[in-house]
Amino acid sequence: MKWQWQVLGAVCGGALLLGTGILLGHFAVPQAGDLDEKLIQDFMGQVESARIRENLRVLASRPHLATTPGDKALVQLLRQRWQDPQTGLDGVAEGTYDVFLSFPDPTHPNSVSICPPVLNGSRLFEARRSEKVLTPDQAQEDVVPPYAAYAPSGSPQGRLVYAHQGTRSDYETLVGLGLDLNGTIAIVRYGGAGRATKAVVGAEFGVAGLVVYTDPKDINDGRAGENDTYPNSWHLPPSGVERGSYTESFGDLLTPYYPAKEFTYRIKESEIQGIPPIPTQPIGFEDARTLICSLAGPEAPAAWQGALGCTYCIGPGFRMDGQFPSSSEVQVSVYNQRVIEKSANVMGFIRGSQEPDRYVLYGNHRDSWVHGAVDPGSGTAVMLEITRVLGKMLKEGTWRPRRSIIFGSWGAEEFGLIGSTEYTEEFSSKLQARSVAYINVDISVFANATLRGQGTPPAQSVIFTAAKQVPAPGSGTGSVYDNWRHHTNRSSPTYGVIPSLGSLGAGSDYASFIHYLGITSMDLAYTYDRSQTSARIYPAYHTAFDTFDYTDRFIDPGFTSHQAVARTAGNVLLRLADSLVLPLNVSDYGEALEGLYSVAAEGQVQADLAAHNISLAPLKAAINRFKAVATDFNQRLMKLKEESSPNPLEVRMVNDQIMLLERAFLDPRAFPSKYYYSHVLWTPRAAGVPTFPGLAEAHAARDWDAIRKHLSIATQAVESAASTLETPA
Amino acid sequence: MKWQWQVLGAVCGGALLLGTGILLGHFAVPQAGDLDEKLIQDFMGQVESARIRENLRVLASRPHLATTPGDKALVQLLRQRWQDPQTGLDGVAEGTYDVFLSFPDPTHPNSVSICPPVLNGSRLFEARRSEKVLTPDQAQEDVVPPYAAYAPSGSPQGRLVYAHQGTRSDYETLVGLGLDLNGTIAIVRYGGAGRATKAVVGAEFGVAGLVVYTDPKDINDGRAGENDTYPNSWHLPPSGVERGSYTESFGDLLTPYYPAKEFTYRIKESEIQGIPPIPTQPIGFEDARTLICSLAGPEAPAAWQGALGCTYCIGPGFRMDGQFPSSSEVQVSVYNQRVIEKSANVMGFIRGSQEPDRYVLYGNHRDSWVHGAVDPGSGTAVMLEITRVLGKMLKEGTWRPRRSIIFGSWGAEEFGLIGSTEYTEEFSSKLQARSVAYINVDISVFANATLRGQGTPPAQSVIFTAAKQVPAPGSGTGSVYDNWRHHTNRSSPTYGVIPSLGSLGAGSDYASFIHYLGITSMDLAYTYDRSQTSARIYPAYHTAFDTFDYTDRFIDPGFTSHQAVARTAGNVLLRLADSLVLPLNVSDYGEALEGLYSVAAEGQVQADLAAHNISLAPLKAAINRFKAVATDFNQRLMKLKEESSPNPLEVRMVNDQIMLLERAFLDPRAFPSKYYYSHVLWTPRAAGVPTFPGLAEAHAARDWDAIRKHLSIATQAVESAASTLETPA
């Protein structure tokens, strides 16, 4: 009897243990771990400023204009780094596109010159054709002369006028002052309007040729002398010329909405919209001074005056008492060539362990105008340090992300975000279905004062979390977050005083990700103390002075700001890739919607709408619904996070809701005339107050029917977003 | 020592058992079961023909034109059935839209009449204003008089001409014969062109008013006498008139691309495209005979002759020796009213147990023109039987699907697929992200000869599997599949002789699901033996004779075809909702692509392309790539299916690839002039050979540039689809 009981006991006990084991195994053993905070600390600890500096030295060692040998050398460098056996990624691929570019003709240099009244082939003056060489690392080989990409060839000649920034209102002012702009050559300064717009609008007014320069007032806080400028300070030397792409839209101009592959249909060059219809050429302020300070005519308005050291007159033509005969004309000669060239994106992949079909994207362009130490070298140097540390962890077997990570080194960004745009076109369907977020770090350090974060509202939470974990460079104490909040903040109804997250325009490769595909995007950089400078951008931007030496001595000596950006961006990347539940707070969209709404619901807009019997009530109701649904969603999320072993499909479900929220704000029919702009909330406004962009533009145009239409579009987008966050069944 | 060993043994054994349990629990206990074939058999066994008959009797007991009291009563019926405590679903919701409709004016009946040469208010002839009442269940109450929905009001009067089917080439033929169509009234028969197109094109030729009728040749296999027609056979009685929506596009006409909610912006009525610009009215062939058989002028071409029992002449005006003075004119008086009415979709939900955020959709419209026993009652009767059986299993706790199921009873389909289209507009973002497939069963039984399956290629496999499991009605042996293959087959390079799956046009509510949202869709019905009849459609279509009695006696006595459709559609539904891996075979798209390609690569198209130096090579390369990738994908799938406990996230990943494949063929910019048509492969062709629709139309128009463009669009779509099926990382 005793023996039988023992057997029975053993059998029962065994069964109990086996059963307990089965239950434990099924329910308690997590399917996959959550984010490892220690790993994030390890990552950040391994990011070395010295390595970023060394990356930049190599990257900026020679010019690498898109598709030139310097660019191709960097393609090989990227491949090598990402294929390194010790610190490489899982895989590397090249995506090539046949893209439409514009280069100066090496055998016929562009020129801006003053012709004598009686034409004899001689020149009274000619602007420099290239910048002065001021430092050894500013090697001349391969430096592309200053030019306006996509400006057409031609040699118009005419009397010179000064048209300030070349905006529509600037040209109107000149006409209002009695000037006949037909056949003139206009000189305008950078700023106030897009590069191409200055020429497109000028041509409408009859301007025959355009000269563009950078005024020391706008870029150098007024300093214009050689002693005050690089290599003696970070300021732009008098011979420095900002190059640039003169296009109003982005992406390959011949293949809108389609990847520029060999098989792709191309529109005719004559069908391209938004490039200069007239020859256009940029020059330095040393030469601009010669032209502007000699102008005849009435004094330009006070707001048009600059820092060239003379009173700016508007022309037309030159002063009687000046250095040139007053009837002398200015000639702009452009010999740019439009070509189709093969441009490569270099893509690096890390396979996700649990959700390989969810992508966290991180990118920066590779091409530069000249040496491009700051633009984009500072960003690529940071990206390479991030991939080195991650690659090391990967190869050592200490880490593999939950989701896949895709790194992109985009080609031909300087010509109009071409590489990234073609990529989003080629893989639109797949990227929209699978992408969690896109992180862009182009210029990583403009200056070493504070973080600048831009992004859509869901990005705020993850950027803040990361920024709080990174010590601010330079200062003794405090985090990148604290320092940011100190420099740029706002008062949030939800959180109190917080750093101000900027919105995304179309300034870098995030444009097609956010505006075309509706993928939550962000852009991170260190930037200026705005109380110290009013420079439009860092002074060497797009010039031959954007060199390693320039960065090393003036932008970020010690590279600690680079390091801080690498740590912050890498931290964000790891959180997005590894967190069980995506660290994007959907309810922050509620506050953003309220912000956009409040502008429409008060002041002149509100008064105008009321006067035309247009109600904001449906939009308000939609926003209220969104906020309620987002709150509910976050409560469900909190419960799910508390579960010891949440159902993987349930986690996937909420993550998909978070991921696809941004997509719900897309409406490809909202702005039919604007290529790629589908995001109802963040499409850049051409005009008007900071509310919903369609509403703002329609209001600025006093188009009441369009206002009704855009209110309806915005309401439907918000309703759709709310619906995405509701419990699926 | 012995005692210690016993304890040690017990501990070790216990640990071993516990560990084994943990391992078993974690790896061997499936996360969720796969499809249960026995449950499918149970389901099919429970589908009762008698209940479908009874459903239909109730549904067709009174007319239920959209938004009328009869329609509202059915809304309540649907709600009641789906909320039934014993056989209901998890939830029911109504989605209402303010939709633009057109009804005749009850106080001013429309008319078609012959006026005497000297107008005195009298009429020499007037067409019937309503159909004869031939059976008791054809109750007159609420029967809407025949009319052409959306035709404008007006009373044009002019000489009568016969314009065959009112196609462009028909009107051109008349002009070629010397007729001046300006100010005429044209009589045309149904068929050959869309309803609205007959009026839109006629107006271009100067036609002032349109009369439309159904020729007995086209609908009755020639039979026109009262003894040959209903209630003595299924043929259309002489007084029968086909009503219909006269629109070229679908969806609410005032809110294209947006849900017709109260807040939604509406275009002006004058901006609506594709509705008749001239008064238009349909009549029965009894009255058409009076008009056509009295016409003067030359004999109409042989192909234009019909079965009215006289020689058709083209006019203008009446014969000298006929019953009307030859200078008599015909007047078409239309008093239709355009209104905005609230229309409801009734939605029924079953929550998925494992993947509630994946939707299998099943729908049919609820509104009819009159009693609508066949259209759409036969489909709704089937849907209600399917939901009854599923609801019972659900309430009994014997079943809950893996994925969510959404049933839709769409409103206002007859006016242009309005309810379903507004639904896809309101929830476009969510539906695109979550929908596995849409099953449409509108008219479930046209006739009782064979299954008719339509759908995109991935639907083929699941329809075939289901159809093989359902016994064919009527015949002693064989399955629905066998019978279908017997009636309509093709030779597949992959499978040999198989039933021929038709492609989806825009004939029912699947249109916006497949063409606008790119959701794999299918339509199932029982239909004619084409060797027995050439009727354009079942003869009582859209007339007052489409009653329960008509169905019960002539369409499907015994309701066994209804039962077969219910079993097949329900079987498909269960497979889509319950299968661990989605039963949609992606590689069937490879064969479909080859089929479309082969038409372009041979004969005249190929010769024309070669003559214009247009290469098909990139398209061919893309198709080859697709086929290779699809084969690989299916091999991975097979491995996954063999695993005893596959990783749920891995299963989800491949299912998402399958689900989203159809989306990759969407290109919202492919056909900018066609509302909602974004599917590069299945957009209906206006003209040309059966290849890629953009290519076919461009080729028909001899537009070589457009051909290049559409080849590029098709190539990119196929590349994108291939890319979707590649391993995600």
Whether the Cβ atoms of residue A196 and residue A224 lie closer than 8 Å to each other:
no
Q: How many C-alpha atoms does B504 have within 13 Å on its Cβ side?
A: 33
* Helices assigned H by DSSP within B612-670: 617-642, 648-661
A451-481: pLDDT as tens digits: 999 999 999 999 999 999 999 998 677 999 9
| pLDDT reported for residue B121 | 85
Both tokens assigned to B117: 């040469």
Please tell me the distance from the alpha carbon of residue B381 to that of residue A447, in angstroms, as a whole number.
Answer: 71
Both tokens assigned to A239: 């011979």
Q: Which helix (H) or strand (E) holds B23?
A: helix B2-23
Beta-carbon separation of A668 and B668 below 8 A: yes
* Helices assigned H by DSSP within A268-375: 285-292
Instruction: For chain B, positions 690-729, list CB contacts with chain A under 8 A.
Output: 708-709, 711-713, 715-716, 719-721, 723-724, 727-729
Homologous superfamily in CATH for domain B39-101+339-578: Zn peptidases (3.40.630.10)
Beta-carbon separation of A429 and B265 below 8 A: no
| pLDDT reported for residue A2 | 58
Residue closest to A254 by CA, chosen among A465, A119, A91, A416: A416
| Chain A residues inside the 8 Å CB shell of B264 | 712, 716
Q: Which of A353-357, A550-554, B202-206, B671-675 is predicted with the least confidence, judged by mean pLDDT? A: B671-675
A21 CA to chain B: closest CA distance, Å? 4
Which chain B residue has its CA at the smallest distance from A430's CA? B724
Please tell me the distance from the alpha carbon of residue A109 to that of residue A94, in angstroms, as a whole number.
Answer: 34
Beta-carbon separation of B724 and A18 below 8 A: no
Q: What is the CA B469 to chain-centroid distance, rounded?
A: 24
| Cα torsion A344, A345, A349, A355: sign | negative
Instruction: For chain B, positions 570-629, list CB contacts with chain A under 8 A.
Output: 618-619
- From the list B649, B663, B712, the residue facing A354 with the nearest CB is B649
Catalytic site residue from B413, B422, B697, B719: B413
CATH architecture of A37-101+339-578: 3-Layer(aba) Sandwich (3.40)
Which chain B residue has its CA at the smallest distance from A518's CA? B429
Both tokens assigned to A728: 């699926």
Please tell me the distance from the alpha carbon of residue B583 to that of residue A365, in angstroms, as a whole number.
Answer: 42
| Chain B residues inside the 8 Å CB shell of A22 | 21-22, 24-25, 29
Query: Does pLDDT of A19 surpass 70?
Result: no
By the CB < 8 Å criterion, does A500 face chain B? no
By the CB < 8 Å criterion, does B25 face chain A? yes
By the CB < 8 Å criterion, does A353 face chain B? no
Does the active-site annotation cover B48?
Answer: no
Confidence of residue A33 (pLDDT cuts 50, 70, 90): confident
| pLDDT reported for residue B686 | 81
B427-470: pLDDT as tens digits: 999 999 999 999 999 999 999 999 999 999 999 999 999 999 99
Residue to substitute from B7, B18, B620, B659, interface A, most A β-carbons within 10 A: B18
Whether the Cβ atoms of residue B96 and residue B66 lie closer than 8 Å to each other:
no
Q: Which helix (H) or strand (E) holds B71?
A: helix B69-82
Which chain A residue has its CA at the smallest distance from B709's CA? A265
Torsion of CA A226, A228, A234, A238, to 10 degrees: -30
Which ipTM did the prediction report?
0.93
- End-to-end Cα distance, chain B: 58
| pLDDT reported for residue A20 | 59
Question: Which residues, other chains included, contact A642 with Cβ-Cβ below 8 Å and sequence gap of 6+?
Answer: none
Radius of gyration of chain B (CA): 28
| pLDDT reported for residue B357 | 98
Number of neighbours of residue B109 by Cβ within 10 angstroms:
13
Number of neighbours of residue A603 by Cβ within 10 angstroms:
11
CA angle (B119, B122, B125) in 5-degree steps: 110
Instruction: For chain B, positions 88-147, list CB contacts with chain A under 8 A.
Output: 90
| Chain B residues inside the 8 Å CB shell of A715 | 263
What separation in angstroms does the CA of A318 have from each of A203, A290, A298, A329? 22, 11, 11, 8
What separation in angstroms does the CA of A266 have from each of A272, A412, A417, B708? 10, 18, 18, 9
Quick one: average pLDDT of A175-199?
97
Both tokens assigned to B476: 């002693």
> B518 — alpha (psi -120 to 50), left (phi > 0) or beta?
left
By the CB < 8 Å criterion, does B19 face chain A? yes
B111-115/B329-333 β-pairing:
antiparallel
CA angle (A560, A564, A566) in 5-degree steps: 115
Please tell me the distance from the alpha carbon of residue A709 to that of residue A691, in angstroms, as a whole number.
Answer: 15
Could you say which residues of chain B have pLDDT below 70? Answer: 1-32, 475
| Chain A residues inside the 8 Å CB shell of B352 | 729
| pLDDT reported for residue B26 | 47
Place of tokens 């008098």: A238
| Structural domain spans, chain A | 37-101+339-578, 105-335, 588-725
Average pLDDT of chain A is: 95
Query: Does pLDDT of A634 surpass 80?
Result: yes
Please tell me the distance from the alpha carbon of residue A386 to that of residue A427, in angstroms, as a whole number.
Answer: 25
B480-502: pLDDT as tens digits: 999 999 999 999 999 999 999 99
Please tell me the distance from the alpha carbon of residue B425 to that of residue B432, in angstroms, as a whole number.
Answer: 11
Residue to substitute from B16, B27, B263, interface A, most A β-carbons within 10 A: B263
Place of tokens 């060999």: A262
Please tell me the distance from the alpha carbon of residue A185 to that of residue B275, in angstroms, as a whole number.
Answer: 54
Name beta bridge partners: A100. A340
Please tell me whether the peptide bond between A618 and the residue prior to it is cis, using omega within 30 degrees of 0: no
Please tell me the distance from the alpha carbon of residue B70 to that of residue B75, in angstroms, as a whole number.
Answer: 9
B415 CA to chain A: closest CA distance, Å? 24
Question: Which residues, other chains included, contact A635 with Cβ-Cβ below 8 Å and sequence gap of 6+?
Answer: none
Which chain B residue has its CA at the smallest distance from A347's CA? B729
Instruction: Spell out where A197-271 has E strands.
Output: 209-213, 244-245
Fold of A105-335: Glucose Oxidase; domain 1 (3.50.30)
| pLDDT reported for residue A474 | 86
Q: How many C-alpha atoms does B82 have within 13 Å on its Cβ side?
A: 25
Whether the Cβ atoms of residue A553 and residue A232 lie closer than 8 Å to each other:
no
Query: Does pLDDT of A559 surpass 50?
Result: yes
Beta-carbon separation of A29 and B29 below 8 A: no
B244-245/B280-283 β-pairing:
unpaired
Please tell me the distance from the alpha carbon of residue A353 to that of residue A550, in angstroms, as a whole number.
Answer: 42
Query: Does pLDDT of A30 surpass 50?
Result: no
Quick one: average pLDDT of A178-197?
97
By the CB < 8 Å criterion, does B263 face chain A? yes
The CATH code of domain A588-725 reads: 1.20.930.40
Q: Which of A32-36, A545-549, B4-8, B708-712 is predicted with the least confidence, judged by mean pLDDT? A: B4-8
Please tell me the distance from the alpha carbon of residue B311 to that of residue B308, in angstroms, as a whole number.
Answer: 8
Please tell me the distance from the alpha carbon of residue A143 to that of residue A108, in angstroms, as a whole number.
Answer: 15
Torsion of CA B285, B286, B290, B293, to 10 degrees: 50
Question: Which is more confident, B146 or A120?
Answer: B146
A57-84: pLDDT as tens digits: 999 999 999 999 999 999 999 999 999 9
Place of tokens 């700051």: A374
| pLDDT reported for residue B97 | 98
| Chain B residues inside the 8 Å CB shell of A430 | 664, 720, 723-724
Please tell me the distance from the alpha carbon of residue B236 to that of residue B537, in angstroms, as a whole number.
Answer: 11
A–B interface: beta-carbon pairs under 8 A: 192
Radius of gyration of chain A (CA): 28
- The sheet that has A337-350: what strands, in order across it? A91-103, A337-350, A403-410, A355-365, A435-440, A521-527, A450-455
Both tokens assigned to B104: 């005749």
By the CB < 8 Å criterion, does A168 face chain B? no
| pLDDT reported for residue B13 | 59
| Chain A residues inside the 8 Å CB shell of B434 | 728
Place of tokens 């992180």: A439
Beta-carbon separation of A719 and B426 below 8 A: yes
A93-107 in b/e burial notation, b at 16+ Cβ within 10 A?
Answer: eebbbbbbbbbbeee
Whether the Cβ atoms of residue A678 and residue A668 lie closer than 8 Å to each other:
yes
Beta-carbon separation of B715 and A263 below 8 A: yes
Please tell me the distance from the alpha carbon of residue A609 to that of residue A258, in angstroms, as a whole number.
Answer: 39
> A291 — alpha (psi -120 to 50), left (phi > 0) or beta?
alpha
Please tell me the distance from the alpha carbon of residue B424 to that of residue B345, in angstroms, as a whole number.
Answer: 12
Beta-carbon separation of A712 and B618 below 8 A: no
A226-282: pLDDT as tens digits: 999 999 999 999 999 999 999 999 999 999 999 999 999 999 999 999 999 999 999
| Chain A residues inside the 8 Å CB shell of B13 | 10, 14
| pLDDT reported for residue B30 | 40
Please tell me the distance from the alpha carbon of residue A384 to that of residue A409, in angstroms, as a whole number.
Answer: 10
